[in-house]
A = this chain, B = another copy of it.
């Protein structure tokens, strides 16, 4: 399978057929632009409820005798059910995301009866059958159908008071070690998300043994390391942020805080003079970020991201915070705001007089990383098929580039030294098999800078991550969301030194096969290098009740080096090598 058949795959198709892996995505992070129509056929005519109430004595214009109605108490109850069951996919303001929009212009067109049926029976496109599954009673289904005919209320905020209530310093600073109290090679530790158990596993990069499994928030999205390498920060999708002290004899949580009801990102201050001083975390709901004390997670400053969409300049009530990285050129956090398409440079040198540069970039910013010089930050505007480039030294937009593929998903991307085009940064795509190489060297290669200089074709659509390393001659491309088991269980590897050739070929590594875990259809996801840059780790992510594994590949030979298996290694997904993560090596 050293060929590259064109196997284009629309994200929409993926989303319909791949239920499990989608949960790995930043749910509901893959908002497309507002769908204008329902996928489920033309809207049903308005059919007033048969379950409604007697005749009205009042003649209010617009009231029909059998219109569904709602009381204040019902409204409150429905609001709570909506937030717990529906908001994750449909958005707290019902603007739609993974699920369809449920704004009143749409719900009223469909009508009460159609809504009730939909809630009761679900749909093959992914709507759960809340009624027939018994998770909602008949009365509750009726209530929810009536509720979504009324405009949504403002969902609960999560400000300083709420955060402070959840904030705990488990081990005060003065009771922590003054110097490292263990012999771990901390810079070669891997923090591995155990998605479904709400844990991370700390794995020793040398011995490949699990050092410790630590309870965290649910489905930890990323791990970040403080500039000194001492503190590990992990954030769950439930917005629970935990801080782990790697100096302790047995690395343990020292502080915890909940920063909202849904979150994805955390980072720490990296500028000289600010090492380990601040942490920052961004949330999906409420749409805001919070700057915290770097030793204790004490929330210090919360800033809302609600505001105008960069191009239409219409107000968006729910602009979610996607990736956050720390600048190497200024004392700034780089905060990506998804729906409004803005990149915020947040100066943390004086948080009482907070200076922010709000850069107009492109809608649906999601994830990204630095070029090899760490001056430029490249971030995918996923639903727009583009990558925005931010000059973190000058504090402004450098370029917006069409990637030529569908729904770029770089993770942090990969930096290669291309034999023809010099330094390039790479992203693969969720929606097709293409891999885009973007020139990042405006001085040495001005003609190639901020252009797609080469498009590769890898295994197929459904890719989440590419990976390389400054010492490596390889570029790895996964495809965990591809519906074909053979593809989602494999990884494509290109030889960087051969990319100057006509049609660069890739080698396929059958990672899932190498793991030999028997039962299940695991997906192979997210290559991560060790500190030395001579081996790459892949998660072989099986379902919760089946065996998963991590497969370690020798980067020189591309041979299997090791398989990590352990009963505790349940649903491993993202892996974060301490050294590479804190130094932005990728």
- What residues of B have a CB within 8 angstroms of the CB of A360 in the complex? 352-353
B73 to A70, Cβ gap below 8 A?
Answer: no
A350 to B67, Cβ gap below 8 A?
Answer: no
CB-CB under 8 A for A304 and B307, given A353-B358, A353-B396? yes
B150 to A60, Cβ gap below 8 A?
Answer: no
Closest B-chain residue to A71, C-beta based?
Answer: B67
B55 to A54, Cβ gap below 8 A?
Answer: yes
- What residues of B have a CB within 8 angstroms of the CB of A299 in the complex? 313
A315 to B75, Cβ gap below 8 A?
Answer: no
The stretch of A157-165, A434-442, A456-464 in contact with B is A157-165
CB-CB under 8 A for A315 and B157, given A55-B54, A150-B72, A307-B303? yes
- What residues of B have a CB within 8 angstroms of the CB of A59 in the complex? 139
Q: Which of A343-393 contact B (CB under 8 A)?
A: 350, 352-360
Closest B-chain residue to A57, C-beta based?
Answer: B51
Scan A49-88; emit 1 where CB is below 8 A from any B CB, else 0.
0010111111111111001111111111101000000000
Within the complex, the shortest CB–CB distance from A412 to chain B, in Å, comes to 23
Chain A: number of interface residues, binned into ranges: 35 or more
Give the complex CA separation of A288 and B51 in angstroms.
44
A62 to B53, Cβ gap below 8 A?
Answer: no
Give the complex CA separation of A76 and B317 in angstroms.
20
B51 to A53, Cβ gap below 8 A?
Answer: no
Q: Which of A127-142 contact B (CB under 8 A)?
A: 139-140, 142
- What residues of B have a CB within 8 angstroms of the CB of A192 in the complex? none
- A110 proximal to B (CB < 8 A): no
CB-CB under 8 A for A108 and B315, given A304-B308, A308-B159? no
A352 to B314, Cβ gap below 8 A?
Answer: no
- What residues of B have a CB within 8 angstroms of the CB of A358 in the complex? 303, 353-356
CB-CB under 8 A for A139 and B353, given A54-B53, A154-B317, A307-B304? no
B157 to A154, Cβ gap below 8 A?
Answer: no
Closest B-chain residue to A77, C-beta based?
Answer: B62
Q: Which of A308-329 contact B (CB under 8 A)?
A: 308, 312-315, 317
Within the complex, the shortest CB–CB distance from A66 to chain B, in Å, comes to 10
A77 to B60, Cβ gap below 8 A?
Answer: yes
Give the complex CA separation of A213 and B53 in angstroms.
58
Closest B-chain residue to A390, C-beta based?
Answer: B353
Closest B-chain residue to A394, C-beta based?
Answer: B353
- What residues of B have a CB within 8 angstroms of the CB of A67 in the complex? 71-73
- A214 proximal to B (CB < 8 A): no
- Residue in B73, B306, B350 whose CB lies within 8 Å of A396: B350
Instruction: Indicate the member of A288, A313, A356 with the most B CB atoms within 10 Å.
Output: A313
B54 to A58, Cβ gap below 8 A?
Answer: no
B286 to A315, Cβ gap below 8 A?
Answer: yes
- Residue in B54, B64, B143, B150 whose CB lies within 8 Å of A75: B150
Give the complex CA separation of A109 and B66 in angstroms.
29
- A280 proximal to B (CB < 8 A): no
Within the complex, the shortest CB–CB distance from A162 to chain B, in Å, comes to 9
- A151 proximal to B (CB < 8 A): yes
Binding site for B on A (CB under 8 A): 51, 53-64, 67-77, 79, 104, 108, 139-140, 142-143, 149-154, 157, 159-161, 286, 288, 299, 301-304, 306-308, 312-315, 317, 350, 352-360, 395-397
Instruction: Show 27 A/B contacts (Cβ-Cβ < 8 Å), sorted by A.
Output: A51-B58, A53-B55, A53-B69, A54-B54, A60-B73, A62-B71, A62-B73, A62-B76, A64-B71, A64-B73, A67-B73, A150-B150, A153-B153, A159-B313, A159-B315, A161-B312, A288-B308, A288-B315, A302-B313, A304-B307, A304-B308, A304-B315, A352-B360, A352-B397, A353-B359, A353-B395, A354-B357
Q: Nearest 8 pairs between A and B by C-beta?
A: A54-B54, A62-B73, A160-B313, A69-B69, A159-B314, A67-B71, A304-B307, A151-B153
